Amino acid sequence: MNIAVAQSGGPTCAINASLAGVFSEASINSGIDKIYGSINGIEGVINNHLVEMSSIIKSNKDLELLKLTPSTVLGSCRYKLPDSETNREVYEKIISCFKKNDIDVFFYIGGNDSMDTVYKLSEYFSRNNVDVKVIGIPKTIDNDLMCTDHTPGFGSAAKYVAATIQEIARDSSVYSVKSVTIVEIMGRDAGWLTASTCVLKANDETAPHLIYLPETPFSVERFLEDVRRMLTEHKGVIVAVSEGLKLSGGEYAAEDFQSGRDDPFGHKYLSGIGKCLENIVRDEIGCKVRSIELNVMQRCASHMASKTDIDESVRIGEEAVKAAMSGVTGKMMAFERVSDRPYFSRITTVDAKDVANHERLFPKEWINNQGNNVTAHALDYFLPLIQGEVDVFMENGMPVHLKIPNWF
């Protein structure tokens, strides 16, 4: 029998590590012949655009490089599978590809949209007596998937963001004048990554001094009060904000602050919440202020990956192969935390249906009463996920990645 694996959704530092886990476990399983990679997620299956993984990973060194190569070596997609009632054709294309290539198991590494695909395919196959197993492997820096303690890719993003905020805090404290620095962190609806900056407390850092999440309605007045108070205590005030801060009505704050207005070029003004709050602080408080967008670096800075995250991401890929070989289908692999200290988690399977199209928000009970920071429970939760440093392979003073072939 052959298997196929694909990657979907936004890039992370760890999505290739899970691919490496699937590949290495499948390689040593005598029941598996060929390991196919589908180019650009499920679209590669629909279009019968597969490559043999052995043409990408040719040595153990390649395998090790792959584990620390950010982004998706097989490409990605944002394709949402239609309902089989309205569109059977695409399902039949998928079955045709699997039959043509003798593929009995399909692994889909992705977020909640991908788990929707896993669920729909496994249901369709079961109803139509197609004997192909479908297994989901989670990934997202947003950490917002249901039914799992955390998601592969999140720990590495959190580690990079924490280290970077610490460096920004040092940088912002050199002049004698007081200043505010607003750091905008990814997270449209779930504030996990922004909240994770609390890990700096474990090293007695004072930054970030304020943390605002999409889970708490944002008030400009309270924000300005908070900043003013912090300026009396700290020279360089560091504020961590989720890109998706929302007002009490539920609308995105950044959109409201600039609603309907065009920029000087006639474009819709596209700045994020960081730039908005920078302008507000400059207008209302008048102190030195800067905003910083961590942009895509927070999801691709594999040079600062968490060893715990990368190791777990490989392991969950390996376990997915074992689960499939024991007959599991329609499930997502998941982490179940057994203890914080010492940290121990085990890998289980959960129904893909329960993950599909849901979002797990940051727990309200881990947000302080003022809505401007998180509690000690959050620190206990986050800290294990950023532990350990990866051994980056360097050449000429730069990290080496497994280069993405030019096939898509």
195 burial via Cβ count (<10 Å: 0-12, 13-18, 19+): buried
Count Cα atoms within 13 angstroms, Cβ side, for 166: 16
Q: Which of 200, 213, 240, 310 binds its own copies (CB under 8 A)?
A: 200
394 binds its own copies (CB under 8 A): yes
Instruction: Compute the distance between CA of residue 242 and CA of residue 143 in angstroms, rounded to an integer.
Output: 13
> Residue 375 and residue 365: Cα distance in Å, rounded?
8
Q: Tokens standing for 165?
A: 């905020």
Query: Which of 222, 229, 288, 290 forms a contact with its own copies (CB under 8 A)?
Result: 290
CA distance linking residue 340 with residue 153, whole number of Å: 19
Q: Which stretch binds its own copies (CB under 8 A): 116-124, 134-142, 212-220, 261-269?
A: 261-269
Our finding on whether 130 is near its own copies (CB under 8 A) is no
Q: Which of 163, 220, 287, 328: binder of its own copies (CB under 8 A)?
A: 163
- Minimum distance of its own copies from residue 313's CB (angstroms): 16
Q: Kindly indicate which of the ranges 23-31, 237-245, 293-301, 349-357 contains the residues binding its own copies, using the contact rule CB under 8 A.
A: 293-301
| DSSP-assigned letters across all residues of 58-94 | -SHHHHHHHHT--S-TT------PPPTTT-HHHHHHH
> Is residue 343 at the binding interface for its own copies, with CB under 8 A as the rule?
no
Using rule CB under 8 A, residue 244 touches its own copies: no
Single residue of 30, 59, 129, 203 touching its own copies by CB under 8 A:
203
Catalytic, out of 142, 189, 226, 351: 142
Tokens in use for 3? 């298997």
DSSP string covering 152-189, please?
TTHHHHHHHHHHHHHHHHHHTTSSSS-EEEEEEES-SS
State the number of binding residues for its own copies (CB under 8 A).
Answer: 75
CB neighbours of 38 closer than 8 A, spacing ≥ 6? 4, 5, 6, 44, 45, 49, 50, 74
299: contact with its own copies by CB under 8 A: yes
Which C-beta is closer to its own copies: that of 28 or that of 177?
177
300 binds its own copies (CB under 8 A): yes
Residue 368 Cβ vs its own copies, minimum distance, rounded to whole Å: 21
52 binds its own copies (CB under 8 A): no
Burial of 58 (0-12, 13-18, 19+ CB in 10 A): exposed
One residue of 31, 96, 175, 251 binding its own copies per CB under 8 A: 175
Sheet with 288-293, strands from edge to edge, namely 210-212, 236-242, 179-185, 288-293
Residues 138-157 that bind its own copies (CB under 8 A): none
Least Cβ distance, residue 404 to its own copies (angstroms)? 6
Q: Judged by CB under 8 A, which of 267, 341, 365, 369 binds its own copies?
A: 267
Q: For tokens 């004997």, what's the residue?
A: 131
Q: Does residue 297 belong to the site contacting its own copies (CB under 8 A)?
A: yes
Q: How far is CA 128 from CA 47, 66, 131, 304, in A?
A: 21, 37, 9, 46
Residue 85 binds its own copies, judged by CB under 8 A: no
Q: Rule CB under 8 A: say whether 232 interacts with its own copies.
A: no
Q: Can you tell me which of 72, 148, 242, 373 binds its own copies, judged by CB under 8 A? A: 72
Nearer CB in complex with its own copies: 43/144? 43
State the nearest-atom distance from the C-beta of 51 to its own copies, in Å. Answer: 15
Minimum CB distance to its own copies smaller for 296 or for 361: 296
Ranges within 269-288 binding its own copies (CB under 8 A): 269, 271, 279, 282-283
Q: Are 362 and 240 in contact (CB under 8 A)?
A: no
Asked if 113 is an active-site residue, the reply is: no
Pairing of strands 35-38, 2-7: parallel
48 binds its own copies (CB under 8 A): no
**Closest to 402 (Cα-Cα) out of 67, 110, 23:** 67
The CA–CA distances, whole Å, from 17 to 32, 151, 236, 295 equal 20, 13, 38, 22
Q: Does 60 bind its own copies (CB under 8 A)?
A: no
Q: Does 196 bind its own copies (CB under 8 A)?
A: no
State the catalytic residues: 142
